[in-house]
Chain A
């Protein structure tokens, strides 16, 4: 038996928002693959939860009139990977979430839970950062839109008020159009392991495919939260593609990151991964975009 103090069971999003405003301390229970583990562990024993898992309105993926891709937060990782819209326009995200845990975790874990837990190793986080995702956050007072870039507040901390629920994740058309990306996860085991380091890169090339028009690079576990590396991106934008440029971008990434030593890996090893995974994902992204190096 899970040690919940109370379990609130909304039938609609409106009811869920009302419950969240009346019980701001209650945790949103989505797929439960973080919360249920911590309840068992004792860390969250005796908590109150709002069970949104059955709310199918919060599930699914569509393309909106303006071309934005809208991912509802309860969409499971396996449904993201299999989704034809994701396969066509955002395959890097489909691949990233296919690296999470094992099949059972990918069938229950939700993308909303993956970013709301605020964990730096979350496998979807770097790709969503690298594609400038915009979050839709709802409360009884209405909806606000927040760039995902401004969501992380520190390890395990995100910009969600007590009365708020994440209701959507959007990737604007301008962000994915003509853009090709790659996610690389370094972990000790190939399955059922958290990233030692994750790197997500995407590029848009100029029409002649000789130069980088725009490059975006984001990491997991390179600092306390998932992060972009603006110095490296600025250095790459508008430059002719050469092997030297790729090395320069990867070197520049090192100036923006703050990895730590943990039991999984030393800071020095993570610095090496930050450079190497950047180069590899950059080369792959450029090739996918039709460029040559």
Chain B
């Protein structure tokens, strides 16, 4: 099938590329752009291993066509660390809290947490669990993942308060 030109901002970089209209966004990110934090788990929207953030919302990139990304802004885990290589708060919290074992689910979980990290209102543990309920982890038992999200939100809140 004839390839199609799309323009998309990926990790803050404006990118133009030709994609096959049958290609999933997960394939585009992994194969064309080598952003291999995006994992193929189930490939049918069940596990969340392929989660990326598109215009502020989390999506399963395995069931999202690459052509749909035209004109959108996408974040993957590769876009989180600073240019000097310093981990983002949420990444550091996953390390510190022991929220990673085999690590296969980790990029997807981190992407699903992004939309709520900066939400200012208090969120209950249940609300946080709901936000990651489309992400499966076969190793950790989830508790440390939820802890890491809570600790990151606390840190962001403290940073915000000390700025005021």
Contacts and interface: CB of A to CB of B under 8 A. Distances in A.
Contacts of A107: 57-59
Nearest to B133: A191
A9 B60 contact: no
B44 A104 contact: no
B51 A1 contact: no
Nearest to A106: B134
Contacts of A7: 1, 21-22
Contact of B65 (A2, A3, A103, A190): A2
A36 interface: yes
Interface string A138-161: 000000000000000000000000
A105 B57 CA distance: 11
Interface in B29-69: 43-46, 48, 51, 57-60, 63-65, 67-68
Given A54-B70, A101-B134, A104-B58, A36 B22 contact: no
A32 B65 CA distance: 9
Contacts of B23: 1-2
Contacts of B21: 4, 7, 9, 51
Contacts, number: 78
A33 to B, nearest CB: 6
A40 B24 CA distance: 11
A103 B67 contact: no
Interface string A1-29: 11110010100000000000000000000
Interface in A36-57: 36-37, 40-41, 51, 53-54
A3 B133 contact: no
Contact of A53 (B43, B44, B57, B68): B68
A101 B20 CA distance: 28
Nearest to B71: A54
A257 interface: no
23 contacts: A2-B24, A7-B21, A9-B21, A32-B63, A32-B65, A36-B45, A37-B45, A40-B44, A101-B134, A102-B133, A103-B58, A103-B130, A103-B131, A103-B132, A103-B133, A104-B45, A104-B134, A105-B60, A107-B57, A108-B63, A190-B133, A191-B130, A192-B46
Interface of A: 1-4, 7, 9, 32-33, 36-37, 40-41, 51, 53-54, 78, 101-105, 107-108, 190-192
8 closest Cβ pairs, A-B complex: A102-B134, A191-B133, A104-B60, A104-B134, A102-B133, A107-B57, A2-B22, A36-B63
